[in-house]
Structure 1
Amino acid sequence: MRHGKSAYPPGVADHERPLSERGRREAALAGAWLQDSRPPVDAVLCSTATRTRETLAATGIDASVDYENRIYEASPTDLIELIRAADADVTTLLIVGHAPGMPWTAAELSYNRDSSAATAIQAKFPTSALAVLSFDCAWADVDTGLGTLTDFHVPR
């Protein structure tokens, strides 16, 4: 999940920027969609940035959370390393991060890069958007091209 739309208050550093009203509303819609259409999230990796923390709070997801500074400005390699370190008991993992890391990682992990969801991600991965991937392997074995991109949702 990419964080919700952020505000740009004067004098506030990028890492500390909060969500805008639109960002809170769309993050709540994303959380409702996740809870209505997907298995329960049982673990979350969230960037330490203010806007990602506020996004997670707005989703209403109640799961174990690890706040990771490495998600801020992460590359696909960084994010895949974090995924590989997920506890083996985790069934559904939510990552709340930033562009371009989140869309690039979703594209890298997906083997079905010609699907409608993959085409949508390549066109634009807006704020509060969710890419849903499934894997037929343990988290420790996740790698480029091993995921199935099952959905791409933009809450509006």
Structure 2
Amino acid sequence: MTANRTLVLMRHGKSGYPEGVADHDRPLSERGEREAGLAGDWLRGNVPPIDTVLCSTAVRTRQTLAATGIEAPTQFLRQLYGAYPPEIITDISEVDESVQTLLVVGHAPGMPTTALDLTEDPDGQHARAIREKFPTSALAVLSVEGDWADLTSGAASLVAFHVPR
């Protein structure tokens, strides 16, 4: 029997809106840097060590990951930019089975909709909070039974939702 795995879905930190900068290239604001650092502190204190990271190629997601201080092997995936649950779940399903704790750093609406798609209890406390708002730097933590390759809708338990402030 495969042990439970931990999946963390994180929305990038608050970004700036510099004039003339393409959306993909927008940087974090000072607040985004600070909150991403707080998110990293929360992760280190509340989930098992991160084994691998999947991160959008957008500047703000890369900067969010750097600000968390999480150091783990990372794949930067262009397809996470603007992705929805089917694409995100496909990327997760391709993660090596040796990975026990996976962090995915992406965008809204992809991160919150994926958390809600994966949870077996869409009416639970954390799911209700996610539906209400999934702000920048927010973290959804799911427990996944079985292999990443077998991950499907409704196959995970949403065990925590945290907004670092």
**TM-score category of the 2 structures, normalised to the smaller one:** over 0.9
Q: Relative contact order, CA 8 A, sep 6+: which one is greater?
A: 2
| Shift, 1:3, TM fit | 0.1
C-alpha offsets along residues 39-97 of structure 1, whole Å, 9 cap, x if unaligned?
00010000000000000000000100000000000010000000100000000000000
State the match for 1:72 in structure 2.
Answer: 81
Which residue identity does 1:28 align to in structure 2? G
Which residue identity does 1:114 align to in structure 2? D
Tell me which stretches of 4 or more aligned residues in structure 1 moved more than 4 Å: none
1:18 pairs with 2:27: yes
Alpha-carbon distance between aligned partners in 2 of 1:90 and 1:129, rounded to the nearest angstrom: 22
Give the share of equivalent positions with the same residue, in percent.
60
Extract unaligned runs of 5+ from structure 1: none
Extract unaligned runs of 5+ from structure 2: 1-9
Aligned length: 156
Alpha-carbon distance between aligned partners in 1 of 2:79 and 2:25, rounded to the nearest angstrom: 15
State the match for 1:87 in structure 2.
Answer: 96
State the match for 1:126 in structure 2.
Answer: 135
TM-score normalized with structure 1 length:
0.99
1:27 to 21, 30, 36: 36
- The CA RMSD measured in Å over matched residues stands at 0.4
1:111 pairs with 2:111: no
State the match for 2:145 in structure 1.
Answer: 136
| Shift, 1:114, TM fit | 1.4
